[in-house]
Chains A and B, each alone.
Chain A
Amino acid sequence: MNIIETHSLSKFYGKERGVTEVTISVKQGEIFGFIGPNGAGKSTTIRTLLGLLTPSSGEAMLFGQSILENGHELRRRIGYLPSEVDYYAEMTSRELLEYHANIYGLENVGEKIRELAHYFELDLDRKIADLSFGNKKKCAIIQAVVHEPELLILDEPTSGLDPLMQNRFFELLESRNTNGTTIFFSSHILSEIQRLCDRAAIIRGGEITAVEDITTLLAKQMKKVRLVLESDAKVELPEGAQNQEWLGNKVLFDYVGPTKDLLEWLGRQEVVDLTLSEPDLESIFMNYYRR
């Protein structure tokens, strides 16, 4: 079953583009990455899914139901962590979380709130106005997970968190995912996507440019090749080789193409030494953006 499904979802702000023809599907129990730079349309997509924005065209479904028909009931099953945290400044974190719990009709969540606050080292009795961005983010994380939603929608979730808290947050996500929570993880930090996600969509200029398994994304992409040949004579490099650099009998190049073809080409060469390095997601990301 798809927990999130969009078909040709578009949003325009007047004549200005928000997102165009976004089609994605997120399966139950999956951690789905949503990668793109600032302004690519990640937040617009999320805000449309949550009913904050009305789609200009296309369709968006959560749990198999249209967001336009029963959005508020669907939101009962969702935890949302925004990128920017703007909460009621006059409240303490405890008051905000109790308010959240009351809206969801939750009872006896005091202990759970205390446990999560202890885990993230958040002082519940400080006013939100007095909290740093990182502490506001911790409060936002707690409100996103405290009602144990079936779907977590996270928009740039780690901004403001120090590495220790990021790690605790990832552990919490992994634990929730093991228990069946589906996670939609929007970020421009690719190492986070690489660590957590099963699949990812890349969005650029409001359009989805790729939806792939993380492993496929890595495999299909550029490889860095460092080769030492027996002679100084330059040989013709395989199709898909880019950015070649010759230094005597050594050659460095980037390879984009089937691995099989590269291996066949290498088999025909007098190779003394070979280093193949996997690209990081950053390189993949940039490669997609060049297209």
Chain B
Amino acid sequence: MNTVLFTKELKRNRKNTLIWTSIVLAFTLMILSIYPSFSHMGEDMVKLMSSLPEEYAKAFGMDEATWSSIIGFYATYYGIYITLLMGIYTASTGATIIGKEERDGTAEFLLTRPISRGSVAGTKLAVLGALFIMVYLVQTLVAVIGMNLFGSEIAWDAMVAMHIHGFFLIAFFTATGVLMGSFLSVKLNYMGPIVGMIFGSYFLNAIASASDAVDWLAYLSPYHYMPLTLEQGTLEPNLLACGAFTVLTALMIWVGYSRYLKRDILG
């Protein structure tokens, strides 16, 4: 890893990361801050829930636990907003962090310095990892603080399981972005395909949860293997899926990295 390049890349991504982190934190705090209003409604919310179509509630992982504890409430929206937003940010950064130099024409400058391609790609992927972990940890910390502020007590087991699943899901999306960036033209705007992929994954799982007739669709979505919502107020980490996702994520990163080593840099 090249420390000069690492510092430069962190600086280069500073503004974008700050914007996305602010959005993610704003959503986190907004979700948690509105929980007290719902919880004060007590029985009224349970009645409201029972009036919702069952398929709708299932699709978005809502049940009585959603309203009875802050962790249940947070879990529902963690899947809908937080993982989607963080996934879009890290996957789009993953898709462009290497290719951006080619798109902007600066690859010629960088790759004619005494740094190997492997070091350039490795350093950029290390920056991507650092940004991902930083945003992930800050969001987790703010969620914990927010739950303390707006809720009574935190169900730590469910919280840890949910955030472990969130971590592997977002890492998977990030690696998909890296892979996409290594195969597609550097001139392409990746945001559309990335938003499509992440929203598509989420809604495939939501549709499958809503209807038994198409429940097989869930197998196509990473959300199925990494559930984020609570069932009966609890959530257990799916360690087998975590292992499989680690292998898949590493494989995609390796393929993206290998392709970059051999790619012709055209002027």
Contact = CB atoms under 8 A, between A and B. Distances in A.
B266 to A, nearest CB: 8
A52 B104 contact: no
Given A86-B105, A87-B109, A13 B264 contact: yes
A103 B115 contact: yes
A75 B109 contact: no
A50 B112 contact: yes
Contacts of B5: 103
B185 interface: no
A43 interface: yes
A198 to B, nearest CB: 25
B121 to A, nearest CB: 12
Contacts of B8: 99
B108 to A, nearest CB: 6
Contacts of A82: 108-109, 112, 267
Given A52-B265, A103-B5, A75 B113 contact: yes
A54 interface: yes
A88 B106 contact: yes
Contact of A86 (B108, B116, B266): B108
A52 B102 CA distance: 11
A52 B114 contact: no
B5 to A, nearest CB: 7
Nearest to B111: A52
Contacts of B41: none
Interface string B1-25: 0101100100010000000000000
Contacts of B111: 50-52
A286 to B, nearest CB: 27
A171 B114 CA distance: 27
A50 to B, nearest CB: 5
Given A47-B265, A53-B264, A102-B4, A76 B106 contact: no
Contacts, number: 68
Interface string A90-101: 100000000110
A71 B119 CA distance: 12
A84 B106 CA distance: 11
Interface string A101-145: 011100000000000000000000000000000000000000000
A51 B266 CA distance: 11
Given A86-B105, A102-B4, A103-B4, A75 B264 contact: no
Nearest to B5: A103
B262 interface: yes
A82 B265 CA distance: 13
Given A53-B265, A84-B267, A100 B113 contact: yes
Contacts of B105: 84, 86
Contacts of A51: 111-112, 117
A71 B4 CA distance: 19
B141 to A, nearest CB: 30
Nearest to A53: B264
A52 B264 contact: yes
Contacts of A103: 2, 4-5, 113-115
Contacts of B266: 13, 53
A80 interface: yes
Contacts of B115: 72, 103
Interface string A38-69: 00000100010011111000000000000000
A273 interface: no
Given A43-B267, A86-B104, 15 more contacts: A50-B111, A52-B264, A52-B267, A54-B264, A72-B115, A73-B114, A82-B108, A82-B112, A84-B267, A87-B106, A87-B109, A88-B106, A88-B109, A104-B113, A104-B114
Interface of B: 2, 4-5, 8, 12, 104-109, 111-117, 119, 262, 264-267
13 contacts: A13-B266, A47-B108, A47-B265, A52-B108, A54-B264, A80-B112, A82-B108, A82-B112, A84-B267, A88-B104, A89-B104, A90-B12, A103-B113
In the A-B complex, the 7 residue pairs with the closest CB atoms: A86-B105, A76-B114, A72-B116, A52-B265, A102-B4, A103-B113, A80-B112
